[in-house]
Amino acid sequence: MRDFPSCFGENGVQVADASCSSVGVSKASQNLVTCTYMCKLLGKSCLMNFVWNKNLMGQCLSVEIDDLSHQLICKIDVKPSLFSKWKGSKCLDVNSCKIEVVWDLSLAKFGSGPEPLEGYFVAVVCKGEMVVLIGDLRKEAFKKTGVASSISSSIFLYKREHIFGKRVYGTKAQFCNNGPIHDLKIECDTNGIDDPCLVVRIDTKQVMQVEHLQWKFRGNYTILVDGLPVEIFWDVHNWLFSPSLRNAVFMFQTCLSAEKMWKSQTASDRTVFSWNGSKSFRDSKSPGLGFSLFLYAWKTE
């Protein structure tokens, strides 16, 4: 998360990622979805990134494993050519230990983005233990891998996604481990509107409305989802004042209590949360750090 939020003010927030705001951003980068988990692997706490990519050859997946200082330990690529089989496995030896990635996308349903919506699983196994499991076909994953039906204590840390629209931008969001999946929509029309308004809906329910957006193009607001406080940060400056760039940036940050979040973690594990902007969350008196969803919203012609 090295290139993420760097400036959180008391009355506003700059959440724009320079790497995603430049005019030269490529279409390839706009078709990436990255999901990051913290897990135990080889006796250490690690970050595991599932990077879904969509290109002319179809969907592909990379599984990247980093240490807590973001140094790459290993990377396993599932190339588009292998996706023609839709299921399979790959092994990698790390420090004389076998790490296996097993996937089944034969029943996967895709939307407009690169990440499957349902009907799939991707499992990472090490020493007979399910380290991380994503997707909804959980029973099939345990049967295929032959491991016990339990998962080590992995934590879903954050997700980065690009979404597109003219006025409405939609995606799916899960704000806590094993929590319900919600429909999330951001609505904003800036074309020829003197006083545009920003609206956020979760499962069709309006949870936030920002009027006089030209004066409040950056800010933050707290809502409740599944009984948890979720802080919304937005930066729509480009939509209003730099239309050639076209993308706005939103972050949804769950505020889990530090006691619940870290009670099973060691002090060294917690260094993962020392990313740019964490001090500002403490300054804003958030009760703790939880899951973060970063959305880069691109206006289409």
Q: Are 232 and 169 in a shared domain?
A: yes
- Which of 134, 156, 178 is the last residue before a domain boundary? 156
Q: Are 42 and 95 in contact (CB under 8 A)?
A: yes
Taking the C-alpha atoms of residue 216 and residue 192, their distance in angstroms, rounded to an integer, is 18
In a domain, 146, yes or no: yes
Q: Are 65 and 194 in a shared domain?
A: no
Higher pLDDT, 19 or 291: 291
Taking the C-alpha atoms of residue 175 and residue 252, their distance in angstroms, rounded to an integer, is 9
Q: Are 168 and 283 in a shared domain?
A: yes
Strands 218-225 and 228-235 come out as: antiparallel
Q: Are 12 and 116 in a shared domain?
A: no
In a domain, 97, yes or no: yes
Q: Report the range of poorest mean pLDDT among 130-134, 191-195, 293-297.
A: 191-195
In a domain, 144, yes or no: yes
76 phi and psi angles, rounded to 5 deg? -120, 120
Higher pLDDT, 105 or 25: 105
Q: Are 58 and 76 in a shared domain?
A: yes
- HSE of 289 in the Cβ direction (CA atoms, 13 Å)? 20
Q: Are 251 and 185 in a shared domain?
A: yes
In a domain, 103, yes or no: yes
Q: Are 233 and 269 in a shared domain?
A: yes
Higher pLDDT, 25 or 74: 74
Whether residue 198 is predicted with pLDDT greater than 90 in this model: the reply is yes
Whether residue 260 is predicted with pLDDT greater than 70 in this model: the reply is no
Strands 198-202 and 205-210 come out as: antiparallel
In a domain, 1, yes or no: no
Q: What confidence category does residue 86 fall into, taking pLDDT thresholds of 50, 70 and 90?
A: confident
3-state secondary structure of 81: helix
Which residue, 190, 191, 208, is CA-closest to 199? 208
Number of domains in the chain: 2
Region 239-251: what's the mean pLDDT? 86
Q: What confidence category does residue 152 fall into, taking pLDDT thresholds of 50, 70 and 90?
A: low
In a domain, 59, yes or no: yes
Q: Are 89 and 145 in a shared domain?
A: yes
144 phi and psi angles, rounded to 5 deg? -70, -40
In a domain, 2, yes or no: no
* Domain assignment of residue 94, given as a range: 33-156
Q: What is the pLDDT of residue 30?
A: 59
Per-range mean pLDDT, top range of 146-150, 239-243, 251-255: 251-255
- Listing DSSP states for 106-167 in one string gives TT-EE-SSSSEEES-EEEEEETTEEEEEEES-HHHHHHHHT--S-B---EEEEEEEEEEESS
Q: What confidence category does residue 293 fall into, taking pLDDT thresholds of 50, 70 and 90?
A: very high
Taking the C-alpha atoms of residue 236 and residue 245, their distance in angstroms, rounded to an integer, is 11
pTM for this model (two decimals): 0.77
In a domain, 262, yes or no: yes
Q: Are 46 and 83 in a shared domain?
A: yes
Q: Report the range of poorest mean pLDDT among 33-37, 77-81, 237-241.
A: 77-81
Region 52-75: what's the mean pLDDT? 84
Region 74-82: what's the mean pLDDT? 76
- Which of 137, 156, 175 is the last residue before a domain boundary? 156
Q: What is the pLDDT of residue 251?
A: 96
- Which of 132, 156, 180 is the last residue before a domain boundary? 156
Q: Are 113 and 222 in a shared domain?
A: no
265 phi and psi angles, rounded to 5 deg? -105, 150
Q: Are 187 and 198 in contact (CB under 8 A)?
A: yes
Q: Are 165 and 295 in a shared domain?
A: yes
Chain center to CA of 12: 22
Instruction: Kindly give, in sequence order, each residue whose CB lies less than 8 Å from that of residue 243, ignoring residues fewer than 6 positions away.
Output: 299
Instruction: Kindly give, in sequence order, each residue whose CB lies less than 8 Å from that of residue 201, ignoring residues fewer than 6 positions away.
Output: 183, 184, 185, 187, 207
For the beta carbon of residue 77, count every other beta carbon within 10 angstroms. 15
Average pLDDT, the chain: 78
Beta bridge mates, 228: 225
Taking the C-alpha atoms of residue 197 and residue 234, their distance in angstroms, rounded to an integer, is 13
Region 196-209: what's the mean pLDDT? 95
Q: Are 85 and 42 in a shared domain?
A: yes
In one-letter notation, the amino acid at residue 47 is L
